[in-house]
Amino acid sequence: MMEKDSKVYIAGHKGLLGSSLLRNLKKEGYNNLVFRTRGELDLRDQAATDDFFKEEKPDYVFLAAARVGGIKANIDYPGEFIYDNLQIQVNVIKSSQKNNVKKLVNFGSNCIYPVSAPQPFKECYLLTGPVEPTNEPYAVAKLAGIKLCQAFNEQYGTEFISVIPASLFGPNDNFDPEKSHLVPAMIRKFHMGKKKGEDVTLWGTGKPRREIMYVDDAAEACIYLMKNYTDSTPINVGFGYDFSITEIADIIKKVIGFHGGIGFDTSKPDGIEAKLLDSKKINELGWKPKVSLEKGVQKTYRWFLENVR
């Protein structure tokens, strides 16, 4: 059981999910938290990662460090997406095993499910078919991380679990127009459109459906799973409902107060048609999300106004 004084390492504590884990762990009274910035520790460096684990000897690990991005970033940098994520996972998971970490939570992604799998995605659908081509390198790396955890549990008796969250958004998200995911990209576009009095153009047709979840809900779920889940089978963490891209855009423009026109560039890819998760397993364990999409967008936009220029 993760005690309040257990040493907990959050890999990726500056990122979207990692920063939320840090906030929520502090809120729950955990006071022995360990973290390093990317400048202090490059998790792609095997020797440096191993030295860190030997020195700090964390009891519990949240592996939230990753190279992430939207469709454009995945298309532009496939080599970096597969290499960086493989390196980070291999180094952190192996160092955790070598240094007797009691439990590790590894994070997958909803894009790792086969493109042809039925909706909603059940955990048993993993590896039953090819994934969406626009993010295949990233998805393959994330699948490898899950398999690495399972293999180590089988061979070494470790307790490394894998969580598959819905698409996340919230404070500390990446709002870079070249690298951001759906919600932060829309927030920035609608904000700039409102500021300049210009219309906004979105990628694709607006028809694909996406399940998106406020990041603090996901962080609370992952802390809950650290305490209550031990199975090697990956577990979905979702909001339980999906929205079309057009519906998401309507909610975000309402929150921001954007009154211009919205166009769609159908020459750009849509990505997978839908990726709703079946979260029955975690719901039956006693966890459900609390923050609605509109409320989450309101919180995120406030953070954007205060922190992004």
Q: Are 44 and 87 in contact (CB under 8 A)?
A: yes
In a 10 Å sphere around its CB, with 0-12 CB exposed, 13-18 middle and 19+ buried, how is residue 31 labelled?
exposed
Please tell me the distance from the alpha carbon of residue 129 to that of residue 19, in angstroms, as a whole number. 33
Which residues neighbour 207 within 8 Å (Cβ) at sequence distance 6 or greater? 244, 245, 246, 270, 273
Q: Indicate if 138 belongs to the active site.
A: yes
Whole-number pLDDT of residue 273: 85
- Give the mean model confidence (pLDDT) for residues 31-43: 96
**Predicted structure pTM score:** 0.93
Full DSSP string of 264-297: EETTS---SSB--B--HHHHHHT------HHHHH
What are the strands, taking DSSP E only, across 166-301? Answer: 167-169, 200-203, 209-210, 212-214, 235-237, 243-244, 262-265
Give pLDDT, residue 129: 96
Is the CATH code 3.40.50.720 the one for domain 8-174+212-241+275-291? Answer: yes
The per-residue pLDDT for range 76-110, each reduced to its tens digit, is 889 999 999 999 999 999 999 999 999 999 999 99
- Condensed to tens digits (0 to 9), the pLDDT of residues 121-137 reads 999 999 999 998 988 99
Considering only CA atoms, which of 61, 2, 4 is closest in space to residue 31?
4
Please tell me the predicted confidence (pLDDT) of residue 113. Answer: 96
Kindly name the residue from 138, 214, 229, 301 that is annotated as catalytic: 138
Mean pLDDT of the chain: 95
Token pair of 195 as six digits: 């500021």
Domain ranges in the chain are 8-174+212-241+275-291
Tell me the pLDDT tens digit for each residue of 252-293.
999 999 999 999 999 988 878 889 999 999 999 999 999 999
